[in-house]
Amino acid sequence: MARAVTVTYEVYPTPEAMALAAARLFASRVEKAVATRGVARVAISGGSTPKAIFQLLADPAGEFLATVPWDKLHLYWVDERCVGPDDPESNYGVARELLLSKVPLPAENVYRMEGELDPEEAAARYESVLRNSMKLEGAESPAFDLVALGMGPDGHTASLFPHTAALDEIGRLVVANHVVQKDTWRITLTWPVINQATEVVFEIDGAGKADVLAEVLTGPREIERLPSQLIRPSNGKLLFLLDEAAAAKLPAATEVFTTADGSRKVGSLEI
């Protein structure tokens, strides 16, 4: 029986406003973890949605560059494409260009997945990186302070694609996943690891995601077809940051909060 999860979804008028909310969430969770434990561990996704968030975080005229305790942040990836770091498809490469090269984050605190290696070897090495950097013992599972996810129009998240082997993996922390629908391999955290995080957030924008998002949150449970339904954090809470277009097919978010730089509507669901 799947655990009960309370989904909170915050709906912003534009993708830009959603990206700003996502950057603020990133900054506040890093600051909170550092204040509590002296260190913050965050896992980020690839794809297009994080680009605007990275740019906001690295903006010299913005509110984040000078305030985020970058030297106490340890940065990990949720997934990676099987390409080298200089390949335009590289999730690490995009983050390096838009964020890492612009913020004072120590290189030894950046844990990239080695997409250039054999996928199985890269997955095994990254599992060791997680175990060593977090000093995990035995069956201990990593607990990120924040895991930031995206969602594809096919309902995938991380590199957990529909009808792929990684959906059945519950023992390992990281796997190589053959994605036949893209005729490629990916390296991805497994869903039990994501669900162990202190906070999990989906950051989604665009009308192209409205139908699948409504299916994932309000439709029947079909995890093989909609892998994002596997994301049910063990603390029973799941946050979605959305723009109006992506939220268009969800039950109306009724609570409205207006702040100096815009408004957001908030809704919640039990899944």
Q: Determine contact, residues 139/152, Cβ cutoff 8 Å.
A: no
Is residue 152 involved in binding ligand 6PG (CB under 6 A)?
yes
Min dist CB 161 to ligand 6PG, Å, is 9
CA distances from 119 to 163, 176, 201, 238 (A): 19, 5, 26, 30
The tokens describing 142, both together, are 């990593």
Q: Tell me the closest approach of the beta carbon of residue 159 to ligand 6PG, in angstroms.
A: 6
Rounded distance, CA 91 to CA 75, Å?
Answer: 13
Determine the interface stretch with ligand 6PG among 15-23, 147-155, 171-179, 222-230 (rule: CB under 6 A).
147-155
Stretch that binds ligand 6PG, among 39-47, 98-106, 217-225, 241-249 (CB under 6 A): 39-47
Binding span for ligand 6PG by CB under 6 A among 29-37, 46-54, 96-104, 257-265? 46-54
Give the strand pairing for 200-204 and 184-189: unpaired
Check residue 158 for interaction with ligand 6PG (CB under 6 A).
Answer: yes
> Cα–Cα distances in Å, from 31 out to 28, 60, 70?
5, 19, 9
Question: Does residue number 78 form part of the binding site for ligand 6PG (CB under 6 A)?
Answer: yes
For the chain, state the CA radius of gyration. Answer: 18
Q: Which is nearer to ligand 6PG, 150 or 267 (CB)?
A: 150
Q: Which stretch binds ligand 6PG (CB under 6 A): 3-11, 93-101, 146-154, 227-235?
A: 146-154
Q: How far is the CB of 89 from ligand 6PG (least distance, A)?
A: 9
Minimum distance between the CB of residue 77 and ligand 6PG, rounded to whole angstroms? 8
Task: Read off the DSSP letter of residue 103.
Answer: S
How near is the Cβ of 204 to ligand 6PG at its closest, in Å? 7
CA–CA distances in Å: residue 137 to residues 101, 131, 133, 173, 229: 33, 7, 11, 13, 29
The only residue of 93, 119, 150, 162 in contact with ligand 6PG, by rule CB under 6 A: 150
Closest CA to 187 of 114, 80, 43: 80
For the CB of residue 241, give the shortest distance to ligand 6PG in the complex, in Å: 12
SS3 108: helix
Show the DSSP H helices in 39-147 as ranges: 49-58, 91-98, 119-133
Please give the residues from 84 up to 103 whose contact with ligand 6PG meets the rule CB under 6 A. 91
Q: Which residues pair with 111 in a beta bridge?
A: 76
> With CB under 6 A as the contact rule, which of the stretches 41-49, 54-62, 95-103, 257-265 interacts with ligand 6PG?
41-49
Report the residue number whose CB is nearest to ligand 6PG: 150
> Which residues contribute to the site for ligand 6PG (CB under 6 A)?
45-49, 78-79, 91, 150-152, 157-158
